[in-house]
Chain A
Amino acid sequence: MNILIIEDEKALAHELEFFLLKNNYICEICYNGTSASEKIAVNLYDFILLDLGLPDYEGLDLLKEAKKANPEVACIILTARAEVNDRVKGLDLGADDYLAKPFSLLELQSRMQAITRRKFGVTQSIVDLDGFLVNITERTIMHHTDQINTITKKEFDLIAYMLLHKNRTLTRAQLSEHIWGSVINDDYDSNFIDAHIKNIRKKLSVYAPADWLETVRGLGYRIKTNV
């Protein structure tokens, strides 16, 4: 997949590129709006990661140009200026998602995957974990033919997020950011991820031991699978 990163903060652009390359994406970087505008007009991209706060260009104009050049392009807006109006305007102009800085790279990847599924119609969304069938699009879990109804919304979010980043250790901070991201409160250490994982294991163990949900000592959790 071809990705254009438009970000004037060079250090951040490099980290984005590093991460995306590692996850088998093809990347190009623009540090300013003018060169981005030229690139958009010439090349065909599947994804544009657009920082709205460019010094030389109105970010939303770039979005319009990109949509005009390729209506199929998926676009995620990245911004530190988390103005409510920007969000609405961006989504109105055809942006697919909106991530406020600072964001987790894993969060970015999961948003990108969600957009890909939606836009490009990836059919394979059921994952088999030792007999547990997780349907990401329908948001359901079955054990063989038994529907599991005890899993809550938050618990499913955790499973889906770990599954999206399967075989990768996710720290409590990363998991916590994913499921509590929109809640603003003044706790910092208590993330309750352990309690959630304990609940998930307990609920699944009624059917079969969920050994694929591993605790990585001292670091976090991961879903191990060969699928």
Chain B
Amino acid sequence: MQNKTRQIWKVITASSVGTMIEWYDFYIFGMLAKTISLQFFPEGNPTAALLSTLAVFAAGFIVRPFGALFFGRLGDLIGRKYTFLLTLVLMGGSTFLIGLVPSYKTIGIAAPVLVLLLRLIQGLALGGEYGGAATYVAEHAPANKRGLYTSFIQTTATLGLFIALAVILLVKSNLSDLEFNAEWGGWRYPFWLSILLVLISIYIRLKMKESPLFEKLKTEGKTSTNPLKESFAKKENFKMVLLALFGAVMGQGVVWYTGQFYAQNFLETKCNIEFEQSRTILLWAIAFATPFFVFWGWLSDKIGRKWIMLAGMFLAIITYRPIFKTFIDKTNVAVWSSSIGIINKQEEIKISTDSLKITTTQLNFKNGAKATSIENVTIDSNGFQKIEYKNKHLSSQTYWEFVALVFCLIFYVTMVYGPIAAFLVELFATKIRYTSMSLPYHIGNGVFGGLVPFIGLLLTTTYPTDPLVGLWYPIAIAALCFVIGSIYLSNKIDKNVDD
């Protein structure tokens, strides 16, 4: 018994560490996008701009679902262990190589072409990793602990984000901006670190055995000969793929993306909170919320998966707008000035060549908050005046209030995401499980989730007076998914996935 428990923890560790490293690899590209674009995709070059667009959008939207199909099929044909070992090697190798590509200044257009290719390999590998890891753990787990054990896989995406944030903050805080952004500067270190992490993970995974359920099918000669056909061309299974996508994963994808990415972007670009505070708010919230992935996974073994996931979506639907409105209200510097009072101001006035008078004022408030006010006034007419507040530094009280609110957003993520691996595993038969669960997962997360910023921008441009209008997309998708999930899904736990 003790040996069995030790074995399952080895399986969870081997799967989770590798998956976490894959998420880390995928995120650092996005987090360093600004520096990367300066190095590889210079402005004013239309080819580089096209390659940049493809690197960001194609890797997430197109390549991830294709990776799910390609590696899912492979995993159902040759086994889980070697497939998700391959995805790990591809992800780690391509991340490390991105850190070695010389800049556009040195090798010209070859630089963005190489980065695009490596980014596409990253997307492909990520598409194949998750389904393999979740299936591998679930097929080792006893029926009454499937939710609990697979929930450790569910923590990896958030922990990968946490580590990526922490590594970048650490490197950035030890280097000057010049040293960090130089051609061979500090921005490359997180990419180089990946190779070390991946080597450790490969070593751990190599020592693991194949999934017992897959091994049994293989011995009996019952593995699928054409997993793609059996997954998507047979009505009995295809309708479950559609149900998984529209009744669970699409809502989970938008809640996940809004809580972990949209919120950070909102604090930085709409509320103009300084770089360090906006990131540490997220770090604290993640640290406090992560144990709940395991809690909801554990609870789903007792009461079923369905209502936990749908409750997370419901909470998101009703509280997103009030939470994001609080972010805006509490960072309104005009209100700070009248209610808290300014203790000192430092003004600097510049007259620019396009006849603009720019007044930059450093404002220090009594409660410890700070902000930079940038006032643009045209000299030759009275018709134009614009005041912007940048680099807002929150008071300690507001800072912790924001940590609590972002915690709520990630708490919803833990509800929708914690039980979903066990839910997906139980929906599909062993011989086509890897293929069948990977595709809806990556469409839900990559496409529906990945579109949150784009549709947000589209809505903000169409309705510019409402700063919260971008939230209607995740709210609408989560609501649609909530309705479909409530009506069509079952809350029963499938005790036997050995089929």
Asked if A pairs with B, the answer is no
What is A's interface to B at a CB cutoff of 8 Å?
none
What is B's interface to A at a CB cutoff of 8 Å?
none
